[in-house]
Every structure is written in C-alpha cells, then in structure tokens.
C-alpha cells in the first residue's frame, strides 16, 4: 500500500461567510512532487497554511506525515519545511547568518549544523556568497536561500507556496532542478503554482478553482481526460483576420489566440478543417499550416475551468 505524506478529507476553511476552501480531498504519496494549481484567489495558500498547521480548518480532517493537523500541530511542524510565497528572510543578515539563524530555530547544532549549512550552500549554489547580505541577492538567489533555510533540518515533507513568483524564467528553471534533486532524495514536495510549464514537472496535480477541487491526476492523464475533442493549431497570413472570421463559425467549439497561431477546439475534426479552409478562402487569408496537436496543460485547465463554470451556472 502506498504511504501517504498528506491525506486530507473534506478540508474546509471559512472566513466569516466566505468559503475559501470548500470540502477538498487530497492524497499525496510520499516521495513525489505534487503540484497544487489554480488562479490567484482560488484557495491554494489557504490550503497549504492549513496543512502546515498554521491555520486551523473550519471542518474536515487531514494528516501530514501521519500527524493530525488540528490536534498534533507541533509534530506536523517538526516534520515539514515551509517556504512562503512572500520572501521572509531578514535582509540585514548575510547568507551564512541566515542559515545559522534557521539552524538555531530548528535546533540543529554542532557538527550536524555545520554539515547541513555546507550542504545547503552547495545545493543552492551559494558557495562563495556566504558573506553577501540577503538584501543584495537577486530574486532567484533569494529563493534559493529561502529553500536552503527551509530544509536545513532535513524534513521529509516540503511545502512551497508559489516559490517562483516574481522570478525570471532562467531562475525558475534552476529552482525546479533543485526540486527534482530533493525529490530524488525521497523528499515529498507539495508545491503551489499558477505556471503551467512548472506543472509538467510534477508527478501528480490537483486543480483548485473557487475553493473547490475540480480535477486531479497526472499531467498526461489530465490532458487526455479533459481534452477529448480535437485541438488544431492554425498558422496563417493574417492572424487577426482569421480570428475574426473563425470565432463565430458554428463548426468550431472554441477559437483562441496562442502566440503567433490560433488554437481551435472542435468536436468533428473533418468538419472543422473544411470550415476553416472555407472561411480563410472567403476572407482572402493564406493558410500556412493546420495540424492537430497534443493539448497543453493550459488547454486542459481552461477546458476544466470552463466546464466547472458551466456546471455551477444556474440553468
């Protein structure tokens, strides 16, 4: 039987009359990278704060590392590392002083402390930067330092809340390489994000929208299950003219701008291709390329959210 690092059932948090998290169930297998996705305000941070024992649930239950988040908060906190969305280190401390400070908080002392600090500096690529003030670090390096501080005590479970928010693409890629290295060491990583490219690196995903869990599964499974219709990519001579011509075409389920192309969703691929060709010819737009493509996670999540909104709308 798979060991669960996180097991939540009916987890709910209400602020006054606002339901921020609405009866969600989560199971995270130990040693995996679990992505918790959703737009801003969906309930991601509230959920992670409950799982870390920072915020008490209004109802429901959850265990983290085998401990109850409501009744055994201190045991939960001893088993986890937590990195908040907002950079929370002291800017007047140096890199080395920051690591020493957190080692003291986690009661990591003596030779073990020295070894863990050395490992954190190596892991985060901060060797040679120990005397730099935290305030002088660029955003990506700050995030690396924050991660090093969060795992000094060797927690088996790591919670990362939007860890790459506001970080440049190269730094985001490097940060995810570090997450992969931690997962290879057997650490469970629970990460919230709204970047779809980051979600592809996760073993399992869950999508929260409006406080409700609307989908869960592996990246490939979510794309397959929620994008059963054909997805076509169109490149043409005049993108905006093509968009204007196709967006009201009844044979097409959806048309969206996607970089230098159009993404078109269709129930009947043959009918869709004929309609696209006809409309472009009628409007004098040159067809450069039209092919069926593998849907991205972004395509799948847009479809999931649209379906969720449709299900919740009054009829």
Domains of the chain: 4-223 (3.40.50.300), 228-294 (3.30.70.100)
Higher pLDDT, 230 or 236: 236
- Lookup result for tokens 């991601």: 44
At 150 the pLDDT is: 94
The residue count for the chain = 315
Average pLDDT rounded to a whole number, residues 75-104: 91
Average pLDDT rounded to a whole number, residues 111-127: 92
Nearest-Å Rg of the Cα atoms of the chain is 23
What is the pLDDT confidence band of residue 314, given thresholds at 50, 70 and 90?
A: low
Summarised one tens digit per residue, pLDDT across range 198-228 is 899 999 999 999 999 999 999 989 988 877 7
pLDDT exceeding 70 applies to what percent of the chain?
Answer: 97
Summarised one tens digit per residue, pLDDT across range 30-78 is 999 999 998 888 999 999 999 999 999 999 999 999 999 999 999 999 9
Kindly tell me if the per-residue pLDDT of 315 is higher than 50. Answer: no
Q: To the nearest whole number, what is the mean pLDDT of the chain?
A: 91
Summarised one tens digit per residue, pLDDT across range 149-206 is 999 999 999 999 998 887 888 888 889 999 999 999 999 999 998 888 889 999 999 9
Q: Is the entire prediction scored with pTM above 0.85?
A: no
Strand-by-strand arrangement of the 188-193 sheet: 80-83, 157-161, 188-193, 33-37, 204-209, 212-217
Kindly tell me if the per-residue pLDDT of 1 is higher than 80. Answer: no
At 313 the pLDDT is: 54
């Amino acid at each position: 039987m798979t060991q669960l690092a996180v097991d939540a059932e009916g987890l709910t948090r209400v602020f006054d009359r606002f339901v921020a998290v609405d009866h969600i169930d989560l199971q995270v297998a130990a040693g995996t990278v679990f992505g918790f996705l959703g737009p801003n305000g969906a309930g991601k941070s509230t959920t992670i704060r409950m799982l870390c024992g920072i915020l008490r649930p209004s109802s429901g239950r959850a265990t983290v590392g085998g401990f109850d988040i409501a009744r055994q908060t201190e045991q939960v906190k001893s088993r986890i590392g937590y990195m908040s969305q907002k950079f929370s280190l002291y800017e007047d401390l140096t890199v080395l002083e920051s690591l020493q400070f957190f080692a003291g908080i986690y009661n990591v002392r003596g030779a073990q402390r020295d070894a863990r600090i050395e490992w954190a500096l190596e892991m985060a690529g901060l060797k040679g930067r120990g005397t730099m003030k935290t305030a002088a670090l660029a955003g990506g390096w700050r995030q690396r330092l924050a991660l090093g501080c969060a795992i000094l005590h060797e927690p088996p479970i790591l919670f990362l809340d939007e860890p790459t928010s506001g970080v440049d693409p190269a730094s985001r890629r490097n940060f995810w390489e570090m997450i992969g290295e931690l997962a290879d060491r057997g650490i469970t990583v629970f990460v919230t994000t709204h970047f779809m490219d980051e979600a592809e690196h996760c073993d399992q995903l869950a999508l929260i929208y409006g406080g409700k869990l609307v989908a869960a599964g592996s990246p490939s499974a979510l794309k397959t299950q929620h994008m059963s219709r054909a997805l076509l990519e169109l490149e043409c001579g005049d993108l905006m003219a093509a968009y204007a011509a196709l967006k009201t075409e009844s044979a097409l389920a959806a048309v969206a701008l996607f970089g230098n192309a159009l993404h078109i969703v269709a129930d009947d691929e043959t009918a869709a291709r004929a309609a696209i060709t006809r409309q472009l010819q009628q409007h004098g737009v040159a067809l450069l390329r039209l092919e069926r493509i593998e849907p991205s996670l972004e395509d799948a999540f847009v479809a999931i959210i649209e379906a969720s909104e449709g299900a919740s709308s009054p009829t």
